[in-house]
Each structure stands twice: as structure tokens, then as C-alpha cells.
């Protein structure tokens, strides 16, 4: 049984020691654009204040830094750092 008065672990701060480099880059892009210091892998872009201009900026920086063009649909299907990182990894695999 969990203690209802204990604070829940902060999901944004829970990271493996060796985080995937794609996740690290995607997280940094989101932090820069949203101006939020720490964002969890499963936090929803829209809940963080993201909108169409934010998405456009994320797509442009992802293209410049990671070398892939992600579709706008990614942000509707899975608007999380984990979702975008998965799509970047998939697209990079297609280019290899």
C-alpha cells in the first residue's frame, strides 16, 4: 500500500545513467523552445504549453541538429520526447 501523503517520484528527474543520445538531443530542443528546465520523457507537449509555432520550431531544430525531417503527424500521434526520439531513430535507420 502506498502512502498517500508521500510525494510521488518526479518522473522528469528519473533518468538512466546513460541516456540515449537521441533522447538527450530531443530533450534539449524541447527545453530550449519551451523554456522549461527539465521535461520527462512522457510529458505531453500540449500540457507543457506547446502549440503550432512550438511544433514548427521543434521540427526545424530537429532537422538542423539530428538531420531528419519529422512529420507534423508525430506530434498528434505521440506528443512526447520519447515519441519524437523514437521517430527520429526510425527515420535515421531509413537513411542508413
Summarize pLDDT for 9-33 with one digit per residue, the tens: 444 444 555 789 999 999 999 999 9
Q: Could you tell me if 81 and 23 are in contact, meaning their C-beta atoms sit under 8 angstroms apart?
A: yes
Angle between helices 21-34 and 52-66 (to 10 degrees): 140
> Is residue 12, in this structure, part of any structural domain at all?
no
CA 95 to chain centre: 21
> Is residue 25, in this structure, part of any structural domain at all?
yes
pTM beyond 0.75, yes or no: yes
pLDDT of residue 1: 47
pLDDT digits (tens, 9 = 90+) for 67-85: 999 999 999 999 999 999 9
Q: What is the residue range of 55's domain?
A: 21-95
> Is residue 6, in this structure, part of any structural domain at all?
no
Average pLDDT (83-96) is: 92
> Is residue 38, in this structure, part of any structural domain at all?
yes
CATH of the domain at 61: 1.10.1200.10
> Is residue 1, in this structure, part of any structural domain at all?
no
Planar angle of CA 82, 53, 31, nearest 5 degrees? 45
> Is residue 5, in this structure, part of any structural domain at all?
no
Does residue 42 carry a pLDDT above 50? Answer: yes
Q: How many domains does the chain have?
A: 1
Amino acid at each position: 500500500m502506498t502512502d498517500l501523503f508521500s510525494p510521488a517520484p518526479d518522473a522528469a528527474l528519473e533518468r538512466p545513467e546513460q541516456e540515449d543520445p537521441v533522447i538527450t538531443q530531443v530533450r534539449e530542443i524541447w527545453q530550449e523552445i519551451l523554456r522549461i528546465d527539465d521535461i520527462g520523457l512522457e510529458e505531453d507537449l500540449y500540457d507543457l504549453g506547446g502549440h503550432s509555432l512550438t511544433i514548427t520550431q521543434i521540427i526545424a531544430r530537429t532537422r538542423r541538429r539530428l538531420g531528419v525531417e519529422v512529420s507534423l503527424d508525430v506530434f498528434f500521434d505521440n506528443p512526447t520526447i520519447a515519441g519524437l526520439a523514437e521517430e527520429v531513430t526510425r527515420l535515421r535507420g531509413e537513411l542508413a
